[in-house]
């Protein structure tokens, strides 16, 4: 087998985007990689969202157990006010921690929820970190002094450019779109250069990097990436934007090729995504619907969507409870990213709400009404699936979850804003998440040219542990993807089940917790620009 495993994360990677790029010759290395490797869809969690998705992938645990269900969570179990999640909220051990305890080292680049940093054996440069604080958020802190010596190192490009990202959503200037794509091309190169440096200078048994421009480009530029939506006779500008998108993926293919070469022929290389992608063509205003059905009473100052992707900042998020929390509110949605509905129960979070004994009948009626809601123009069902919390988030952390989680027909996220109409076509198609992500792998002992049935995202961690010749902790919910390995390998080296994982401390010694919310502020701004925060 192998003593070196590489995990390349493609945030939002989806075969519906990648396959055309493979066919068109934009990603020739990945095409060859798949011809001699394995591929299959990777089923994400509920909801298919970056924080719960990646956390599930790197813990082998489900959101109901690791506790990350959204970008946000309540400040405390009894609070109605929300804040961004961070590494302290991850209540299960990560892959990097598991292998560290067993004497191996990991390099971890650009993964979310890595701040405040938790000590591991190896190196962490966290994702979602603002440039001003990245120095203090690296682990170990001395790592920053090393990576800043890399030729071309640009701290601000490495982290984020909030102004540029904001313009990409709010503005329509052609020049701004080009700058925005070019920025992400440069930014991915920054991450790649750090990876190359560390693979040369401090190789670890597990090397993991996340390229998140895949997600951003698809969110903002879906009509330029999806051939279905790209015009048959594009303007010169449209063609230029598409070419820039292709340049991003062409560069990514080159990075993958170089990473595989650096890892060497004895390494096992895995590519995976946290969720898939697809188009979104309409907006479902869940709180407006709850208001119409008599569950939600708006506060007098609750904003109404202007119909032009109006966005509200931190102030609105922190005071949202006040907007939907009038005394007669019995059900509300707090974040657009969760697709969740909370039921106000008397005594829970200080809400007046319904009496506890009314919970089940109210929830059942609400589910039924959600399913019955139809598009007034076509009669089509809008809400395609409603999960009660015990189905979506079984586990010790379930109490942090919304009471209901929705899937809507275009696969997108709900809007939590007020609106005169409950369902509205988007002025332009945008990209949004889908449950089916990607899984690709190649290496010694792995089967070749195999197309797999879908795996679960929680299977990745145990599969990587098996590749590293480590026992799989008994409490992981995922399983080793045995079907990707040659039968002789499994026979010679049976899967070993080991001791359960360790529950992480909320405030581990050696963490840099003081920088946590410095990063939170900028991350929140970034989410706003991506449309998760309205």
Partner 1 sequence: MDITHEQISADLEKIFHETMGDWEYSGEITPETRLFADLGLESIDIVALGGNIEGHYRRNFPFAQWLAQMRDQQVDDIRVKDVVQFLHDNLNASSDGESQ
- Residues within the interface to partner 1 (CB under 8 A): 75-83, 88-89, 116, 132, 313-315, 317-319, 321-322, 506-507, 512-521, 524-525
C-alpha span between 411 and 48 (Å, rounded): 10
Residue closer to partner 1, measured from CB, 87 or 432: 87
Query: How many other CB atoms sit within 10 Å of the CB of residue 530?
Result: 18
Residue closer to partner 1, measured from CB, 364 or 514: 514
Residue closer to partner 1, measured from CB, 132 or 186: 132
C-alpha span between 60 and 69 (Å, rounded): 15
Q: Which residue has the tokens 């001003």?
A: 132
**Least CB distance from residue 134 to partner 1, whole Å?**
12
Is 511 in a helix, a strand, or coil? coil
Q: Which residue has the tokens 């991003």?
A: 248
DSSP 292: H
**Least CB distance from residue 417 to partner 1, whole Å?**
18
Residue closer to partner 1, measured from CB, 218 or 529: 529
**Least CB distance from residue 507 to partner 1, whole Å?**
5
- DSSP states along 157-193: HHS--HHHHHHHHH---HHHHHHHHHHHHHHHHHHHH
Pairing label, strands 497-498, 106-109: unpaired
**Least CB distance from residue 282 to partner 1, whole Å?**
30
Residue 318 phi/psi, 5-degree rounding, is -70, -25
DSSP 64: H
Cβ-contact 64, 394 below 8 angstroms: yes
- DSSP states along 190-255: HHHHHHHHHHHHS--SEEEEEE-HHHHHHHHHHHHHSTTTS-SS--HHHHHHHHHHHHHHHHHHHH
**Least CB distance from residue 75 to partner 1, whole Å?**
5
C-alpha span between 430 and 42 (Å, rounded): 22
**Least CB distance from residue 418 to partner 1, whole Å?**
18
**Least CB distance from residue 82 to partner 1, whole Å?**
6
Residue closer to partner 1, measured from CB, 322 or 429: 322
Residue closer to partner 1, measured from CB, 7 or 323: 323
Region label for 402, one of left (φ > 0), alpha (ψ between -120 and 50) or beta (otherwise): beta
Residue closer to partner 1, measured from CB, 91 or 433: 91
Residue closer to partner 1, measured from CB, 467 or 524: 524
| 276, two tokens | 């898939």
**Least CB distance from residue 56 to partner 1, whole Å?**
19
Residue closer to partner 1, measured from CB, 368 or 505: 505
E-strand stretches of 303-403: 331-332, 340-343, 383-388
**Least CB distance from residue 509 to partner 1, whole Å?**
10
């Amino acid at each position: 087998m192998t003593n070196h495993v590489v995990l390349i994360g493609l945030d939002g990677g989806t075969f519906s985007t990648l396959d055309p790029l493979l066919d068109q010759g934009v990603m020739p290395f990945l095409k060859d990689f798949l011809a001699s490797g394995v591929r299959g869809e990777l089923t994400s969690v509920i909801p298919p969202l970056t924080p719960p998705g990646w956390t599930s992938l790197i813990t082998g645990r489900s959101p109901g157990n690791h506790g990350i269900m959204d970008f946000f969570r309540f400040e405390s179990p009894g609070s109605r006010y929300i804040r961004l999640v961070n590494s302290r909220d991850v209540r299960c051990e990560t892959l990097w921690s598991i292998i560290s305890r067993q004497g191996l080292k990991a390099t971890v680049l650009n993964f979310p929820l890595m701040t405040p940093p938790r000590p591991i054996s190896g190196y962490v440069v966290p994702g979602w970190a603002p440039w001003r604080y990245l120095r203090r958020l690296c682990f170990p802190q001395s790592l920053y002094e090393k990576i800043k010596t890399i030729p071309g190192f640009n701290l601000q490009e490495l982290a984020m450019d909030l102004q540029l990202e904001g313009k990409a959503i709010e503005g329509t200037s052609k020049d701004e779109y080009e700058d925005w794509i070019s920025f992400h091309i440069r930014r991915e190169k920054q991450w790649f250069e750090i990876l190359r440096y560390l693979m040369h200078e401090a190789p670890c048994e597990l090397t993991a990097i996340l390229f998140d421009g895949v997600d951003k480009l698809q969110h903002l530029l879906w009509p330029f990436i999806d051939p279905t939506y790209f015009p048959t006779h594009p303007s010169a500008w449209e063609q230029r934007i598409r070419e820039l998108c292709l340049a991003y993926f062409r560069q990514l293919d080159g990075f993958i090729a170089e990473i595989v070469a650096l890892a060497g022929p004895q390494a096992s290389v895995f590519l995976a995504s946290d969720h898939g992608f697809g188009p979104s063509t309409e907006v479902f205003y869940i709180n407006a619907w709850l208001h119409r059905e008599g569950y939600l009473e708006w506060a007098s100052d609750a904003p109404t969507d202007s119909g032009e992707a109006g966005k509200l900042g931190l102030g609105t998020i922190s005071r949202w409870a006040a907007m939907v929390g009038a005394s007669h509110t019995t059900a509300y949605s707090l974040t657009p990213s969760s697709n969740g509905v909370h039921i106000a129960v008397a005594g829970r979070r200080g809400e007046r709400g319904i009496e506890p004994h009314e919970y089940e009948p109210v929830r059942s009626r609400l589910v039924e009404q959600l399913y019955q809601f139809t598009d007034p123009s076509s009669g089509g069902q809008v809400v395609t699936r409603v999960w009660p919390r015990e189905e979506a988030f079984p586990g010790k952390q379930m109490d942090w979850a919304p009471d209901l989680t929705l899937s809507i027909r275009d696969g997108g996220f709900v809007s939590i804003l007020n609106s005169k109409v409950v369902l509205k076509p988007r002025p332009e198609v945008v990209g949004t998440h889908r449950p089916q992500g990607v899984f690709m792998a190649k290496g010694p002992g792995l089967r070749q040219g195999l197309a797999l049935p879908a795996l679960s995202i929680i299977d990745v961690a145990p599969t990587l542990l098996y590749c590293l010749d480590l026992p799989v902790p008994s409490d992981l919910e995922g399983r080793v993807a045995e079907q990707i390995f040659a039968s002789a390998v499994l026979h010679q080296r049976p899967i070993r089940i080991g001791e359960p994982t360790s529950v992480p401390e909320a405030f581990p010694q050696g963490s840099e917790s003081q920088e946590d919310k410095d990063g939170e502020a900028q991350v929140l701004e970034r989410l706003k620009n991506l449309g998760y925060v309205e």
